[in-house]
Amino acid sequence: MPATYDHPRAALTVDCAVFGLDDDGLKVLLIQRGIEPFAGRWALPGGFVHLDETLEQAALRELREETGLERVFLEQLYTFGDPGRDPRERVVTVAYYALVRLGDHTVQAATDARSVAWFATDDLPALAFDHDAILAAALNRLQAKVRYQPIGFELLPPKFSLTQLQRLYETVLERPLDKRNFRKKALALGILQELDEVEQDVAHRAARLYRFDEAAYRQKLADGFNFEL
Amino acid sequence: MPATYDHPRAALTVDCAVFGLDDDGLKVLLIQRGIEPFAGRWALPGGFVHLDETLEQAALRELREETGLERVFLEQLYTFGDPGRDPRERVVTVAYYALVRLGDHTVQAATDARSVAWFATDDLPALAFDHDAILAAALNRLQAKVRYQPIGFELLPPKFSLTQLQRLYETVLERPLDKRNFRKKALALGILQELDEVEQDVAHRAARLYRFDEAAYRQKLADGFNFEL
DNA sequence: CCAAAAGTGTTTCACTTACACCCATGA
DNA sequence: TCATGGGTGTAAGTGAAACACTTTTGG
């Protein structure tokens, strides 16, 4: 390491793969780039890291600026830095993935984004840079993580039915689950709070609603409990 | 994103937590810094990323330059970038962890490293920068990963006994394992090649030697096999 | 012949999986 | 009364964990 840090420097960005869930399945939030390179192409929201903010703050700021999203679950994914991933010059990007409750937010294009939209993860347009690789990594991580950590709740409304929860897992894991076994296991985790409420406005028997019990989760986590589903 | 990438830039480094195993337990390779900041302090080997190399290449190059190590198992860990983690200016570091067979290599200090040494992971000196946090994350990752991916072989000589393998797992996971169950499970993975050789020069019955069967591993991996131990 | 580690099976228990019917509600 | 999804239990099978003695070898 030189005594002074004076040398040519790569540019540093953050990019976010933001996932949401609706009746059609898993969605990812993309922006349409307003500027070169790749103007007009769809891309993950992201941008340059400022010198006075953490990487996570940069990711949250870019999300807010480009899409209007706030208060999302966010976790660092991987850092992509191959020379050539940006056609102009060396750019290293720290990728994050985020989970949001789709109903909570309306997205809104801003700054350098021409527009913003949700895309089904199994029907994506061509993406700018190496964003297809980043997105694939993010999907992998989500699938792996959802099995042993209850992060899926971040995709659901605060109150949900067991059927909704099951559909979430089926969607993310891309395979059907047995209803009775799923309910047994989900309840056995001991982190679901049964509410005295049911679904509204459905044309059949209304399902009981539950809430994710954060306190119970922290407790069990500290006790070394295993949350595999 | 501005149309040109002209703005103040953070410096970008890589750092490596290199693990090895000997009879005393798990070791990590540290260098003693020859220059400021933190001259004289122990630190993870690492350094600045060049503009024309990948992040992984940078990590391998720094390892070679500072410690003489070559051909190691290397995997990206996490990117640390809080402002203030370097006392002089903003430096973002992409951390890697590596596994080596301790017997294979003799390490050798070079470039900016005053000296190089292996330290027991449970008896570490004060480290430079936030390297204690990086190292803690690396240990966590190693523990988590060794359970479901057979990376532990990277720490053993090419030919090893089942007892050696068991001791490796016990060391990394920090808990005793049942001998019979361990052997049953390890062999059931179907990725150990039984050799017609035994240990040499031991003062008791000599143990049969095995080899990690890379081909069988790849095959089973492709078939979706689960390698949890 | 003693010390030291290698090697080997069976039983028990817990968890996973497969599976089908009645219930409540609104239209 | 019909259509729609909500809700429930049991039996069989599979994998994990606990556990102790005999064998081999060199000193």
pLDDT band for B205, please (50, 70, 90 cuts).
Answer: very high
- What is the C-alpha to C-alpha distance for residues B95 and B97, in angstroms, rounded to an integer? 7
- Tell me if A121 sits within 8 A of A25, measured CB to CB: yes
A36 interface with B at CB cutoff 8 Å: yes
Which residues neighbour A67 within 8 Å (Cβ) at sequence distance 6 or greater?
A: A18, A29, A31, A45, A107, A108, A109, A110, A113, A116
- What is the C-alpha to C-alpha distance for residues A61 and A69, in angstroms, rounded to an integer? 9
pLDDT at res. A109: 66
pLDDT at res. B148: 94
pLDDT digit string (tens) for A77-96?
999 999 999 999 999 999 99
Are B83 and A9 an interchain contact pair (Cβ–Cβ within 8 Å)?
A: no
The Cβ of residue A158 has, within 10 Å, a number of other Cβ atoms equal to 12
Å between A132 CA and nearest CA of chain B = 19
Q: What is the DSSP string of B46-105?
A: EEEPPTTS-HHHHHHHHHHHHH---S-EEEEEEEE--TTSSSSS-EEEEEEEEE--GGG-
pLDDT digit string (tens) for A3-12?
456 788 999 9
Tell me the average pLDDT of chain A: 94
Closest residue on chain A to B55 (Cα): A81
Which residues neighbour B201 within 8 Å (Cβ) at sequence distance 6 or greater?
A: none
pLDDT band for B3, please (50, 70, 90 cuts).
Answer: very low
pLDDT digit string (tens) for B52-111?
999 999 999 999 999 999 999 999 999 999 999 999 999 999 999 999 998 777 777 677
**Token pair recorded at residue A203:** 């044309």
- What is the C-alpha to C-alpha distance for residues A22 and A171, in angstroms, rounded to an integer? 10
Phi-psi region of B59 (alpha: psi -120 to 50; beta: other; left: phi over 0): alpha
What's the whole-model pTM score? 0.95
- What is the C-alpha to C-alpha distance for residues B229 and B227, in angstroms, rounded to an integer? 6
- Tell me if B93 sits within 8 A of B79, measured CB to CB: yes
Percentage with pLDDT > 90 across chain A: 86
Lowest-confidence segment of A164-178, B3-17, B120-134 by average pLDDT: B3-17
φ/ψ (deg, to 5) at A132 = -70, -35
Using the predicted structure, report yes or no on whether residue B194 has a pLDDT greater than 90: yes
- Tell me if A98 sits within 8 A of A15, measured CB to CB: no
Closest residue on chain B to A65 (Cα): B1
Residue A69 CA from chain centroid, whole number: 12
pLDDT at res. B217: 96
Give me the residue from A1, A35, A92 closest to B47, CB to CB: A1
From the CA of A56 to the C1' of D14: give the distance in Å. 44
B92 interface with A at CB cutoff 8 Å: yes
Average pLDDT over residues B159-183: 97
pLDDT at res. B6: 75
pLDDT digit string (tens) for B20-54?
999 999 999 999 999 989 999 999 999 999 999 99
Are B48 and A8 an interchain contact pair (Cβ–Cβ within 8 Å)?
A: no
- Tell me if B4 sits within 8 A of B90, measured CB to CB: no
A78 interface with B at CB cutoff 8 Å: yes
- Tell me if B199 sits within 8 A of B209, measured CB to CB: yes
From the CA of A21 to the C1' of C14: give the distance in Å. 35
B78 interface with A at CB cutoff 8 Å: yes
Using the predicted structure, report yes or no on whether residue B191 has a pLDDT greater than 60: yes
Average pLDDT over residues A138-150: 96
For helices A179-188 and A162-173, angle between their N-to-C axes, nearest 10 degrees: 110
- What is the C-alpha to C-alpha distance for residues A63 and A15, in angstroms, rounded to an integer? 9
pLDDT at res. B5: 66
Using the CA of A210, which nucleotide's C1' is the nearest one? D6
| Domains of chain B and any CATH numbers | 11-145 (3.90.79.10), 152-223 (1.10.10.10)
Average pLDDT over residues A123-150: 97
Mutation to test the B interface, candidates A44, A79, A80, most B Cβ within 10 Å? A79
pLDDT at res. B4: 55
pLDDT digit string (tens) for A200-215?
999 999 999 999 999 9
pLDDT band for A2, please (50, 70, 90 cuts).
Answer: very low
Are A3 and B79 an interchain contact pair (Cβ–Cβ within 8 Å)?
A: no
pLDDT band for A106, please (50, 70, 90 cuts).
Answer: confident
A90 interface with B at CB cutoff 8 Å: yes
